[in-house]
Structure formats: C-alpha cells, structure tokens
Amino acid sequence: MAKKNYLILFALLLFIFTQCTDKCGDKKTADIKNITDMTIKKVQNSLIEKFGTDNKDLIERGVAHAASLWRASDGSESEFENFCFDNYINDANEKLIVFEKTSKNFESLWGHGNKITLDLNENMHLDNGPYHKIDAMFAAYSPEAHFADDFYANKIAFVIALNFPPFSLDEKNAMGVNWNSKEWAYARLGDIFTARVPAALSQAISQAGTDADIYISEYNIYMGHLLNDKGEKLFPEDMVLLSHWNLRDEIKSNYANIENGLEKQDIVYSVMKRIIDQSIPEKVINSGEYEWNPINNTVLENGSEIQLSSEPDTRYQQIVNNFRSLKATDSYYVDLNTFIKRSFSGDKEIPQEEVEKLFDEYLSSPVAKEVGKLISKRLGRDLRPYDIWYDGFKARSSIDANLLNSITENKYPNAKALEADLGNILVKLGWPKERASFLASKVVVDPARGSGHAWGAQMKAENAHLRTRISSKGMDYKGYNIAVHEFGHNVEQTISLHDVDYYMINGVPNTAFTEALAFLFQKRDLQLLGMNDPNPNKEHLNNLDLYWQVFEIMGVSMVDMKVWKWLYENPEATATQLKNAVIQISKDIWNKYYADIYGVKDEPILAIYTHMISNPLYLANYSFGHLIDFQIEQYITGKDFAKEVDRIWSLGRLTPDVWMQKAVGESISIKPMIAATEEALKHIN
C-alpha cells in the first residue's frame, strides 16, 4: 500500500457535493446569497408554465440550485430571472449538445491542468537530485485555484447549475441503479458547481498539502547507521528507508530471516515509536552523519556519545496545518460542513458513521483472536505489536529476500526497463497482445523520490505516470512489489478514462475502487516473476493474509477518523497537544481491538502511518479497497481476469453501492471475508 497523490488533484474537489447559502458565514455583502424564495418560486412557475410539467422536478431543482450559488456580485434578482429565462434548456437535443461541448472543454481544462501540476511537482516527486526551495514554491501553486471563480464570473457555472442540477447521495443510490450512462454523466456534471470556495482558501489547502508532502518525501532513515545495544550494525551500509512505508516493509521482509530477523524487527519498531512520540533526534532524519541506537535513543559522533535535540513535533504540525486550511472552508458548505463529512459522504460517497460501524464490526469479530493464535503458533513465540504486519501467510515470505532482490534488480535496472516490460506484464495477466500494448502505451514510468505513487491522466491525449523508487543497483523486490501495485492503479486509470461512455463519468466511485485493482495486481507479483506457489493451501493462506491486512489497516483508519473528530472538538490545539491526543487515541484503539490478541496494552504503533500526515482521511480507502478486492476476486474466480477487469472498471464513476451492484451483484460487505477466514482456519489448523 503506497501513498497516492494522483487522484482528482484540482481545487474543484473543494466544492464537490455541497452547497453554499446565506449560512456561509461572515463575508462581504457581495458574496452573500441575494435571491429570495419568492423570486425562486416565481422563476420556477414561469418556466413550468412555458415548458410544461414533464421536466417539473428538474426545473425546480435547477432554479433553486442556481439561486443558492448566485451572489449580489453576480447580479440583481431581476438579472437572475432574466438569466434563467435566457439559459434554461428544455430541448433534449440542445441539452445533449451543450453537455458534449462542456465535457470536451472540461477534459481539455482538467487534462492540461493536470499536466501543469505534474510538471510543477516534477522536482518534488522524481529522483532528479536535490531540490531547491523554488521547487517547493512552484509545487505549491495550484493552476486550478481560480477555476471556480472564473466560471462563476463568466456564468458558465450557472448554466450548468440551472440545467444539470446535483442529486443527493441518497437520490443517486435510489435512482442510479436504473440510470443509463448519459443520465449518470449529467448527474456528475451537476456535481461540479455546488459551492463557492474562494481561490485563496483553495491555494492555502494546496500549500499545506505540499508542505506535508515535502516533509514526508524527505523523511528517510539511514539504516546502515543504526546500532543495537551491543553497538553492532545489522543493516546494509547503503540502506535508506522512507517512513513509514519502507520501515514497515523492512519488518515484513525479516520474517524469513532466521539469523537476526527478530532483532532487526525490534530495532525498526523502536525507530517507529521514536517517530510517533517525536523523541527521534532531529538530525538523524534523512542523514547518515551520526550513529543512532533507537532503542535507548543514544547518538554517537566519531565513536563518542553526543546530545541532539528531538524533532520539535513537526510531524503533528503538518496535521494541524492541513486541518486549519481545510476547516477554513467549512462555512462555505451546509450539509457537508466539515472535512470529515466532505471526505466520506462527499468524496467517498459513504457516510463516515457507516464506515466506522462497518470497521467496528470487522475489528470486533472473534475470528481475529483465532488468526492471532495461529500466527503466534507459526512464529513459535508470543505476538509482538509489529506483527500487525505479519507476512508469513504469503508465499514470498518463505523466499529469501536476497534472491527476490537479485531477480528484480537484474530484470529492472532502471525505470525505462520497467516501462518496456509493462505490455508483457499485462499479457501474463491475460490481456491479448494488442490490448496489452494499448494499455501499456498509456503509462510512463518515472524514478520516484519517495516510495512511489500512480498519477492518472485527466485527458485521453495524456499518459498516466507510474512513479517508483529504484536505487543505483536496480529495483529491489520491495520496490517491485509497490510498482506492481501502482501499475494496477495505472491500468484502472487508463480503462476508466478511455472506455467509459462519457468523459464526465470517467474514473471510479472513490479511491477505494482503484485500490481494489491495485491489490488484485499486487497479489500476482510473484506469478509475474514466474514463481507461482504450488502450495495446495494457497487460497486459504491468501485469505488469512488478506484478513490480517484488513485487520491492521482498519485499526489505523479508526485512529485517523478519531483524530479528526478530536481536532474538530479542539480546533485551537497545538502540535504538542495533538501529538499527545494521537498517541492516546492510538493506544485506545489498540486496547479495544488488539490488546487481548497480543497480550500487551497501550501500544502506539497504529499512529505510524504517514498517510495521516500528507493524505488526511485517506486510509479508509485501503480497507474498502481490500473488501472490494476480495468480493471481486471471488466473483471473477473461474472467469477471464482481463475481460472482467476491462468490464468492471469501465463502469465509470457511479456511487459505490451502484457500482458494486453492477460489478458483482452485491453491496460492499465484510461477511464474505469473515466467512472465508473462518473456513481457512479450519483447513490450516
């Protein structure tokens, strides 16, 4: 699971799925709604009288919505009336023409805007050598920041609001099952202009996000300079691991290390805890100048112990900055008037309360304790907190890491070698050569500065980008595993852009659905290397592995959600206060769901995830991605993998529930995975 910065990057997401009315807060008079209910009713009745009652609901909905966005600066009430009379489109053919012209132009705007954003972030995201502060300044610039202001000013936003009004999530779920692609495309066009967030606030959000990205992308630990209590170095001199992804993966890789894997895992976990509580010496971050023992937190310089200052809660200041910039836009929304609501009911289109309830049911299942007992038995020891990342159910866990590294480093010495092999990877997964060549031709591989991510195109004329970390020795197995995951994203991005009926429904319901395909790809990484596992229990082991992954990431997601609830309850909190709250929340979640299984309380490990810093409230997508991945995997078993992937991911951006119904015939559920885990336990035990 790797960080994703590639989806819907534009400022327009700051005002999707929401409305702004006279409750928007303390603004200038010119920015306050100035259309009375009497005028709204007058315009509605006049248009219904002129065009008849066939489209009565759309007329009433469109006029009311346009009025909710109209400000004194846009014109008087009489000017609003004239605008509606002049711009309402009743003829279906004319409406389709306007829709198609709008879609074509938005594809150009968003596609080129995405390309500009890629270019401006290049030196931040790619391994182009040291970056200068001017790179960060350019990366913080958002070319889409004035998108809304411009389109309200030229009245295009009002034409869309009047003729393509938005539907609520409940309405989409109720009616969307029977909508055709065009009706869905009309509804998605209506989602674009639903609130008026000033460009300055959009830019502030972009700046805070960029600052957090920079902080994370440079948070490396020089593993060759870590010491154990005997003063020994256990890691290769040139090993540099990014927090938290590479640190976590290093823990995973050492389950197969009989010689000193356990000690190395303990050291990595000590590093994680120092990062969480910010007792890590600031100068050992992204530096190999000192020798550091993370267990007792001592630092040596030229063999002599020295004192270094700890990191000054910078990790938590990034969260505070993100929170304050996002909260500043709350007053511009009515129904979704917190970032929590916008993230779940808005972006994910699954209410946060439903997410938390589903996760609680999964985490509380008694099957977790049975899986924990099995892992303890397989390890031959009591569980340790970092065994939330136990990797022993995977076939690769029994394969020596050095062997895997030698294979991938030889196969992919650089980014271009991986790019040249993408078509072959798809052929191995079942795509015909011509189709595989087309999909592969739409993906460019870049050497990443961080752990890597996938960045999709927003127009058909551009390519998706696969960013992956490759050392001078070539791509190690960890990087390859992540790259296969990211390639799954790229394939989704390409299919859902090129194969949907209308541009306005390009994409997937939310990022969990792109995670699902990435997981489907990632679990086939050994197969792609020609190292299939002949184990007759493979399916049961895979199910146990997936269950345990979800058990871990759902707990982290619960921490993420509860941290944001705490922030809204304590909006003036300092970074230090937030740090203490995050640590306590992570311990509370641990004690509720994990302590009984692990036999130890008050562990903070669930707070290590970097997504909480640079991708607020993203983590739940991984959990949903796994659930969706599992349901789809079950559904496509025995079917043509490539054909089903093409069919399912060309459905377009429907709501999650409607998408799942059309994809596999059922809603998102934890039951299939729990049932499969129970069955797996019977066989493995």
pLDDT (average), residues 435-461: 91
Torsion on CA atoms 507, 509, 514, 519, rounded to nearest 10: -150
Mean residue pLDDT of the chain comes to: 91
DSSP state of 345: I
pLDDT of amino acid 438: 98
Q: Are residues 186 and 50 in the same domain?
A: yes
Q: Are residues 453 and 590 in the same domain?
A: no
Number of domains in the chain: 4
Q: Are residues 26 and 174 in the same domain?
A: yes
Question: How many Å apart are CA 529 and CA 520, to the nearest integer?
Answer: 15
Structure tokens at 532: 């299939």
Residue 571: inside a domain = yes
Q: Are residues 122 and 198 in the same domain?
A: yes
Question: How many Å apart are CA 36 and CA 323, to the nearest integer?
Answer: 34
Q: Are residues 54 and 191 in the same domain?
A: yes
Collapsed DSSP state (helix, strand, coil) of residue 330:
helix
Which ranges in 131-260 belong to alpha helices (H)?
A: 133-139, 147-153, 156-163, 169-175, 181-190, 199-217, 245-253
Residue 430: inside a domain = yes
Which ranges in 412-533 belong to alpha helices (H)?
A: 415-428, 433-441, 477-498, 511-522, 525-528
Q: Are residues 246 and 175 in the same domain?
A: no
Residue 4: inside a domain = no
Q: Are residues 203 and 245 in the same domain?
A: no
> Which band of pLDDT confidence, cut at 50, 70 and 90, is reported for residue 486?
very high
Residue 1: inside a domain = no
Give pLDDT tens digits for 370-420. 999 999 999 999 999 999 999 988 755 567 788 899 999 999 999 999 999
Residue 330: inside a domain = no
Out of 528, 559, 581, a domain closes at: 528
Q: Are residues 199 and 60 in the same domain?
A: yes
Q: Are residues 430 and 469 in the same domain?
A: yes
Q: Are residues 462 and 522 in the same domain?
A: yes
Our CA angle for 627, 630, 632, nearest 5°, is 110
> Which band of pLDDT confidence, cut at 50, 70 and 90, is reported for residue 135?
confident
Out of 179, 197, 213, a domain closes at: 213
Q: Are residues 586 and 504 in the same domain?
A: no
Give pLDDT tens digits for 320-369. 999 999 999 998 887 789 999 999 999 999 999 999 999 999 999 999 99
Pick 43 or 118 by higher pLDDT.
43
Collapsed DSSP state (helix, strand, coil) of residue 452:
strand
Residue 229: inside a domain = yes
Give pLDDT tens digits for 138-194. 887 777 777 888 899 999 999 999 999 999 898 999 999 999 999 999 999 999 998
| Environment class of 406 (CB within 10 Å of its CB; exposed 0-12, middle 13-18, buried 19+) | middle
Out of 178, 213, 248, a domain closes at: 213
Residue 5: inside a domain = no
> Which band of pLDDT confidence, cut at 50, 70 and 90, is reported for residue 674?
very high
pLDDT of amino acid 31: 56
Question: How many Å apart are CA 621 and CA 448, to the nearest integer?
Answer: 23
pLDDT (average), residues 429-434: 98
CATH, residue 436: 3.40.390
Where in the sequence is the domain holding 53, given as residue range(s)? 11-213
Question: How many Å apart are CA 663 and CA 644, to the nearest integer?
Answer: 9
Residue 500: inside a domain = yes
pLDDT of amino acid 478: 86
Query: How would you list the strands of the sheet with 298-301, edge to edge?
Result: 291-293, 298-301, 304-306
Sign of CA dihedral 504, 508, 509, 511: negative
Torsion on CA atoms 628, 630, 635, 639, rounded to nearest 10: 110
pLDDT at residue 216 tops 80: yes
Q: Are residues 25 and 87 in the same domain?
A: yes
Give pLDDT tens digits for 548-559. 999 999 999 999
